[in-house]
Amino acid sequence: MSAPSLPQLQSVFMPAGEAAARITSLSWVLIIGAALIFTAVMGLLGWAICAQGGRPPRVRLWIAGGGVVFPLVVLAALLAWSMARTPGWMERPPPGALIVGITAHMWWWEVRYRDPASGREITLANELHLPAGRPVRLGLSSPDVIHSFWVPALGGKMDMVPGRISHLMVQVDQPGSWRGQCAEYCGEQHARMALNVVAYTPAGFDAWLAAQALPAAAPSGALVERGRDAFLTQRCNACHTVRGVAEEGRLGPDLTHVGSRLYLGAGTLPNQPGAMARWVAHTQDVKPGARMPSSADMDPATLEALAAYLEHLK
């Protein structure tokens, strides 16, 4: 399992699977078709302006043909073509599909997998990891306001509505990484609600999931050990779970493997050395309105130890 790279691309023109490829081809037909029709209409307008004076021939035919028949034919053809290319509703996922639960929060993503070894549910955050070549059924919901799941490389948008579970089938063809973004305005930090997608080979995915299913790594070294104690004395565990250390916190993201994540704060800060301490101490400067308060008054030694502990949770 190679380390995933930071996803940069978020484009409907770079599909990673069949559902997204259908949307891409539809987009091209719409863009090219609209450009051709716009050019033709502008040409007609130019002709009408140049031929001012005399009444143009067959006015009624132009109005009925161009204003009624032409749009009807074009829109009906587009509707039939796009309906034929829309995947059918599936009551049950296909055999062998991976099931992943995603809950959108203000302003981060909770992502849940079933550990095949223990049957336990594993809760992660802000990253969707997938096996390439295998269908994946996403169950999408929200506990607060309407969000929208949108990873252009995977497929279309799906609103995440409080009180409902929506489903989306996705599949990627090759390993890779892509960026997604909440696509429904959901408050102050809607713009910093990114979801990163990483796809592996099937064996790579199994190895990744097995690693994520493990409880938190035991502290190695005095600094990291002090950091684990700080995690408890600073009451980080009131909101965050670290499996094997404190498992009651449910308000914020599960931090059991936070050190292995690509970003902090749902795509806000690349998870590089120094980012963790900045995030903890200056949360409200980095992501104003985030549910976590800044801890700017934490003494530097405690902050250093806490950040070292969280970075160590790979």
Q: Cβ closer to ligand CUA: 157 or 278?
A: 157
Residues 74-103, one symbol each (x = binds ligand CUA by CB under 6 A, - = not), give: ------------------------------
3-state secondary structure of 67: helix
Q: Tell me the C-alpha to C-alpha distance, in Å, between residue 158 and each of 91, 140, 152, 180.
A: 16, 8, 11, 12
3-state secondary structure of 233: helix
Give me the least distance between CB of 106 and ligand CUA, in Å please: 7
Give me the least distance between CB of 158 and ligand CUA, in Å please: 13
224 touches 155 (CB < 8 A): no
Nearest by Cα to 89 from 169, 6, 201:
169
Q: Of 20, 98, 100, 104, which lies in the binding site for ligand CUA, with binding defined by CB under 6 A?
A: 104
Q: Quick one: how far is CA 236 from the chain centroid?
A: 26
293 touches 281 (CB < 8 A): no
Give me the least distance between CB of 25 and ligand CUA, in Å please: 28
Q: Interaction with ligand CUA in 148-187: which residues (CB under 6 A)?
A: 182, 184-186
Give me the least distance between CB of 285 and ligand CUA, in Å please: 21
311 lines the binding site for ligand CUA (CB under 6 A): no
Residues 116, 120, 124, CA angle at the centre, nearest 5°? 95
The number of residues that bind ligand CUA (CB under 6 A) is 9
Q: Interaction with ligand CUA in 129-148: which residues (CB under 6 A)?
A: 147
- One-letter amino acid of 155: G
Copy the structure tokens of residue 126.
Answer: 């802000």
Phi then psi dihedrals of residue 169, to 5 deg:
-95, 130
Give me the least distance between CB of 171 and ligand CUA, in Å please: 24
Q: Cβ closer to ligand CUA: 102 or 213?
A: 102
Give me the least distance between CB of 312 and ligand CUA, in Å please: 30
190 lines the binding site for ligand CUA (CB under 6 A): yes
Q: Cβ closer to ligand CUA: 193 or 303?
A: 193
Give me the least distance between CB of 126 and ligand CUA, in Å please: 12
**What is the Cα–Cα distance from 13 to 261, expressed in whole angstroms?**
27
CB atoms < 10 A from the CB of 236, how many?
21
Phi then psi dihedrals of residue 270, to 5 deg:
-60, 135
Enumerate residues 6+ apart whose C-beta is below 8 A from 39.
none
Q: Cβ closer to ligand CUA: 129 or 147?
A: 147
141 touches 105 (CB < 8 A): no
Q: Of 98, 154, 193, 290, which lies in the binding site for ligand CUA, with binding defined by CB under 6 A?
A: 193
Give me the least distance between CB of 15 and ligand CUA, in Å please: 23
Q: Cβ closer to ligand CUA: 175 or 267?
A: 267
Residues of this chain that bind ligand CUA (CB under 6 A)? 104, 107, 147, 182, 184-186, 190, 193
